[in-house]
Amino acid sequence: MHVTHLSLADFRSYARAEVPLDPGVTVFVGANGQGKTNLVEAVGYLATLGSHRVSSDAPLVRMGAERAVVRAAVTQGERSQLIELELNPGRANRARVNRSSQVRPRDVLGIVRTVLFAPEDLALVKGDPGERRRFLDELVTARSPRMAGVRSDYERVLKQRNTLLKSTAMARRHGGRSMDLSTLDVWDQHLARVGAELLVQRLDLIATLQPLADKAYADVAPGGGPVALDYRSSVGPEGAASRSREELYEQVMAALAGARKQEIERGVTLVGPHRDDLVLGLRGMPAKGYASHGESWSYALALRLASYDLLRGEGNEPVLILDDVFAELDTRRRERPSWWPPASRCW
C-alpha cells in the first residue's frame, strides 16, 4: 500500500497543502513548529479516525476555520482509491470514498494502514496498563479487521454488566431486594465468550511479536536487550499462546465465579481482558520503573518497528511513520542505525 498524494484544507497550521508522495522513503525536514508532525498526524487520522496527540478533533481544525478536510490518494496493487474525511468538531464527521456519495467514517478504516511512532509512545513503556492494552488491541485489529467488532462487543458487554453490578451494589447498600443472579450468569457467559476471543488474539499476537521485538530492540540499542513480553492476566496464570478459546472461556468463567462476591460488593467487573497488562521486560526487569529514559524510548520504538515487521510479514504492509525518532537516542544509537531504510531510497 502506498499513499501517493496527501491533500489538506484547514488542517492544523495548513490553510491548504498538497503533498505528492513517491514510493519509498520520504523525509520531512524543517524547523520546530513548521508543520512536520501535523502532516504525520493527518495521515494517522485517515488510518485510525483519531489523532495520536489529542483526544478530540477541535485542535485539528485550523484556528478560525470551521472544518478541516484531509484527503489522500492510496494505491494498493492495481487499485487506486481516493478517500476524504471532513472533520466537523461538535458535529458528525463526513467521509467519502472515490468522490462517491457519503459513507460512514468507519468505512474508510483499513484503506490507509499505518504504524506510527511518535514521542507520545513513551507512554507505552512508562504509562498505565491501558496504554499497552490499546497497543495490543490496535495491532490485533490491524492483523484481523473483524476484531474491531469483537472489541466493541466486549466494551458493550462490560458496560452492561457493570451497570447491573452497580445497581445491585446500590440496592444492597440501601437494603433493597437481592438481585436475580441468573441475569448476572448470562452476562458472565457473554463476557467470557467475547473476552476469550480477545484473549486468544492477544496471546497469539504476543507470541508472534516477541522475537520481532527482541530483534528490533537489538537493532535500536545493540547489546542492550534482551526484551521479554509477558502477558499478565487478571483471569489467572498467564495463558500460554497455545491455549484454546474454550480453555480461556472456562478460565474467565472461573475467575468471574471467584470474584463474584467482591464484584457485587464493589459494583464493578474486576476480572477480564480490560484488567490485564502487558509487562515489558528488559534484561529480566520490568522496563516500567527500571529502564532509563533512553531505554524506554528505544523500547517504544522497538515495539513499533516490530509491529511494522509483523504486519508486513503477514502481507498487510502498512506505511511506517517515524516522528522525531532520534530525539532521545544517544549519538551512538543515531549513527547509521541498521533498522533505518537504505539511504539510497531517501530524498
Ligand X SMILES: Nc1ncnc2c1ncn2[C@@H]1O[C@H](COP(=O)(O)OP(=O)(O)O)[C@@H](O)[C@H]1O
| Binding residues for ligand X (CB under 6 A) | 12-13, 30, 32-38, 59, 61-63
Q: Which is nearer to ligand X, 295 or 323 (CB)?
A: 323
Under rule CB under 5 A, residue 298 binds Mg ion: no
The Cβ of residue 93 has, within 10 Å, a number of other Cβ atoms equal to 16
* Helix boundaries (H) for the chain: 36-48, 122-126, 129-143, 147-173, 181-220, 245-266, 293-313, 331-334
For residues 1 and 76, the answer to whether their CB atoms sit within 8 Å is yes
β-pair type (114-117, 319-322): parallel
Residue 269 interacting entry, from Mg ion, ligand X, none, C-beta within 5 to 8 Å by type: none
Q: How far is the CB of 33 from ligand X (least distance, A)?
A: 4
Minimum CB separation of residue 295 from ligand X in Å reads 24
238 contacts: CB under 8 Å, gap ≥ 6: 230, 231, 232
Indicate the residue among 26 and 210 with the shorter CB distance to Mg ion. 26
Q: Which does 44 bind (CB under 5 to 8 A by kind): Mg ion, ligand X, none?
A: none
89 binds, among Mg ion, ligand X, none (CB under 5 to 8 A by kind): none
* Residue 298 beta carbon to ligand X: minimum distance, rounded to whole angstroms: 21
User: Binding partner of residue 59 among Mg ion, ligand X, none, CB under 5 to 8 Å per kind?
Assistant: ligand X
Residue with Cβ nearer ligand X (62 or 215): 62
Per partner kind, with CB cut-offs from 5 to 8 A, the member of ligand X, Mg ion, none near residue 62 is ligand X
Which of 201, 192, 196, 189 lies closest to 245 in space, CA to CA?
196
Measured from the CB of residue 11, what is the shortest distance to ligand X in angstroms? 8
Calpha distance 115→308 (Å, rounded): 6
Q: Which stretch binds Mg ion (CB under 5 A): 34-42, 187-195, 218-226, 249-257?
A: 34-42
Quick one: 180 or 324, whose CB is closer to ligand X?
324
Stretch that binds Mg ion, among 30-38, 47-55, 190-198, 201-209 (CB under 5 A): 30-38
* Segment 130 to 189, residues that bind Mg ion, using CB under 5 A: none
Cβ neighbours around 157 below 10 Å, total = 21
Cα–Cα distance for residue pair 332/245, rounded to 1 Å: 45
* Residue placing its CB nearer to Mg ion in the complex, 37 or 208: 37
DSSP 115-128: EEE-GGGHHHHHS-
* Of 2 and 36, CB closest to Mg ion: 36
49-53 long-range contacts (CB < 8 A, ≥24 apart) are: 49/85, 49/93, 49/105, 49/106, 49/108, 49/109, 52/116, 52/118, 52/120, 53/118, 53/120
Of Mg ion, ligand X, none, which one does residue 30 interact with (CB within 5 to 8 Å by kind)?
A: ligand X
Question: Is 37 a binder of Mg ion (CB under 5 A)?
Answer: yes
- β pairing state of 2-11 and 68-76: antiparallel
Nearer to Mg ion, 28 or 290 (CB): 28
